[in-house]
Amino acid sequence: MTIKQQFSIDFNYDIFFSRDAFDPQNPILVNVLTENGAREGKAIVIIDGGLLSSMPLLRVKIEQYFSAHSSLRLLAPVTVVIGGEDVKNDSKELFKILELINTAQVDRHAYVIGIGGGAVLDMVGFASAIGHRGIRHVRFPSTVLSQNDSGVGVKNGVNAFNKKNFIGSFYPPFAVINDFSLLQTLHDRDWRAGTSEALKVALIMDLEFFEWLEKYATQIRDRDLGKMEYLITRCAQLHAQHIVGNNDPFETGSSRPLDFGHWAAHKLEQLSDFSIKHGEAVAIGISLDIAYANRAGFITDDILERILHTIENLGLDTFHDLFFNESGIEFNPDLMVGLEEFREHLGGELTITMIERIGTKFDVHEMNPKWLQDAALKLKNKYQVHAS
């Protein structure tokens, strides 16, 4: 005898776009925390230390927001964690949040609010996913990268065994609030880095959006906030659409187009001890993969040039010395390992997303090492000409 167990779970969450979300007049957060008709919206708030140091008044503003609404209750003082990738490498930070969930008596009907960059949200999201087998998680992404990409998705994770996101889960947030005001104090490097994910979704999904990016790349780089708000909103929309449209939100298959350019990016981050930021690495990884696509005959020289030019105009690099070993000619075997690690993390057959036109993707299942080397050399030469 066999029991055939079968059921579906519905997931739904809203992604809001706003400014000054912690102005007591802004109703988004209070509505989210009390939307189920709860008498009281109970929450803890975890904030990225990097964000807090550039916006020192934020902590008080958050506490004032909670005080201003009698239907809300802060179960513990606002808690600060270290910002950047370190928060995913140091298991003490994860443990600190789990301990807070315990001591503040956060239950499955209360909320864990994370405010910060993608790394902090990944860690806080994972703590929320596993504490009491899952607590409601509300995200306030605070960088371009997290507002347009990871923050609106369903994944979380921490690093282990020197591998990015080795431990994590698929756990949709309860809500995402993209507060553009949090971007004001971003360093230029972070501002620019986040635009690479917009370029990515444009390349695999939307020619029109690419043309918009191509047209306004320098204005975006030079901190035109209006343009950036459009970039984030459109990118988040395409990212969210992809998650639903692909019919595999929890990635049980082998194809993962949102990871276009990411196999090399993940490895470059790790090989550089995370001195290359994720968004920067994605721009470099995309450059490598489109140069490969060109070498393989998938895209014309013309298209390659347009894309590389746009990446440069966004203020991002298209090349890195780590493409090569010490010889400066042979493709870096340590980087090559990233291809197998990418396959292993995804599971099943190696599946790399390529484009055949701007806005149109397809999958390949192997990469020719010789072509990869040629692609890297082409980028190196262009880069040196450009730099000289």
Least Å distance, CB 131 to its own copies, is 7
Interface of this chain with its own copies, residues 238 to 277, rule: CB under 8 A: 240, 243-244, 249-252, 254
Q: Judging by DSSP bridges, how do beta strands 136-141 and 163-170 pair with one another?
A: unpaired
**Mask 90-109, x = binds its own copies (CB under 8 A)?**
--------xx--x--x-xxx
Least Å distance, CB 80 to its own copies, is 21
**Rg from Cα positions in the chain:** 21
Three-class secondary structure of residue 324 per DSSP:
strand
Least Å distance, CB 179 to its own copies, is 13
Angle between helices 369-387 and 278-295 (to 10 degrees): 120
User: Does 12 sit near its own copies (CB under 8 A)?
Assistant: yes
User: Does 37 sit near its own copies (CB under 8 A)?
Assistant: no
User: Does 223 sit near its own copies (CB under 8 A)?
Assistant: no
CB 257 within 8 A of CB 246: yes
When binding is defined by CB under 8 A, the residue of 163, 223, 306, 361 that contacts its own copies is 163
- With vertex at residue 336, the alpha carbon angle to CA 335 and CA 341, rounded to the nearest 5 degrees, is 90
**Mask 341-380, x = binds its own copies (CB under 8 A)?**
--xxxxxx--------------------------------
CB 282 within 8 A of CB 353: no
C-alpha closest to that of 171 among 183, 185, 192, 157: 157
Q: Which is nearer to its own copies, 54 or 237 (CB)?
A: 237
Interface of this chain with its own copies, residues 275 to 334, rule: CB under 8 A: none
**What gap in Å lies between CA 48 and CA 97, rounded to an integer?**
13
Number of amino acids touching its own copies (CB under 8 A): 62
Least Å distance, CB 181 to its own copies, is 16
Cβ atoms within 10 A of the Cβ of 388, count? 5
C-alpha closest to that of 30 among 70, 58, 61, 57: 70
When binding is defined by CB under 8 A, the residue of 25, 56, 133, 302 that contacts its own copies is 133
Neighbour-count burial of 229, counting CB atoms closer than 10 A to its CB (0-12 exposed, 13-18 middle, 19+ buried): middle
When binding is defined by CB under 8 A, the residue of 57, 60, 73, 134 that contacts its own copies is 134
Q: Which is nearer to its own copies, 5 or 70 (CB)?
A: 5
- With vertex at residue 274, the alpha carbon angle to CA 272 and CA 276, rounded to the nearest 5 degrees, is 75
> In this structure, which amino acid lies at residue 247?
N
Neighbour-count burial of 92, counting CB atoms closer than 10 A to its CB (0-12 exposed, 13-18 middle, 19+ buried): exposed
Least Å distance, CB 103 to its own copies, is 8
Where does this chain bind its own copies (CB under 8 A)?
A: 1-17, 98-99, 102, 105, 107-110, 129-135, 152, 155, 157, 160-161, 163, 165-170, 172, 233, 236-237, 240, 243-244, 249-252, 254, 343-348
